[in-house]
Amino acid sequence: MPERATSDEFLMQAAGRGDLGAFEEIVRRHQAWAWRVAYRFLGHEEDAADAVQDAFLRLLDAGSRYRPAASFRTYLYQVVSRVCLDRAKKKRPLYVKEVPEIPDPCPDADETMVRDETAAAVRVALDALPPRQRMAVVLKYYEGLSYTDIADAMGITVKAAERLLANARKSLQSSLARLKGD
């Protein structure tokens, strides 16, 4: 099959024409990282699963209007970001202390305790951020997006993304310094 036939953009256009198999392939390819973004933002597994399901339903609904102006991944980040931000406006999400990670097969007890305490402190500080700052942090530091990609995903300018992240870093430093001092 030619590479174009398997590109996300091609699959999304096919899904827009009613090809549910193409949409199923899009979901298979992207559900794990979409869930990861939603989970890191919302902090609760079930809320993240609901948000991702909502995002994919919105994506399917918009399929006939999809035009590949940017990369498909950027488009999907926009949808996931909007769903998460909408959910943050509707209610204060419940947070867990840390993002589940694959456990180290031989963790040292002291290292595990320090890592768990650090993760909990970061989660508390991250939870205290305003939703748009929190989303910018998740996209930058957990997903590795560039400022341009963050701006595209959040529907803001690159300067606005830079300001969100600068303000978030300042707040996180202050929060973590306070927690460290306790």
How far CA 131 is from CA of 3, 5, 41, 124, 134, in Å, comes to: 38, 37, 8, 14, 5
pLDDT, mean of residues 88-113: 62
The architecture that CATH gives domain 100-182 is: Orthogonal Bundle (1.10)
pLDDT, tens digit, for every residue of 43-74? 888 999 999 999 999 998 888 887 877 778 88
Instruction: Check for a shared fold between 1-96 and 100-182.
Output: no
pLDDT at residue 2 in the model: 45
For residue 78, what is the DSSP state? Answer: H
pLDDT at residue 31 in the model: 92
pLDDT of 3 over the 50 cut: no
For residue 105, what is the DSSP state? Answer: S
Please state, rounded to an integer, the average pLDDT across all residues of the chain.
83
pLDDT at residue 1 in the model: 41
Question: What are 82's two structure tokens?
Answer: 């909007």
pLDDT of 117 over the 80 cut: no
9's CB contacts (< 8 A; 6+ apart) are: 68, 71, 72
pLDDT of 167 over the 70 cut: yes
pTM, full prediction:
0.68
pLDDT at residue 97 in the model: 58
Integer Rg of the chain from CA: 18
Could you tell me the residue ranges of all domains in the chain? Answer: 1-96, 100-182
pLDDT at residue 93 in the model: 44
84's CB contacts (< 8 A; 6+ apart) are: 37, 38, 41, 42, 51, 131, 135
**CATH number of this structure's domain 1-96:** 1.10.1740.10
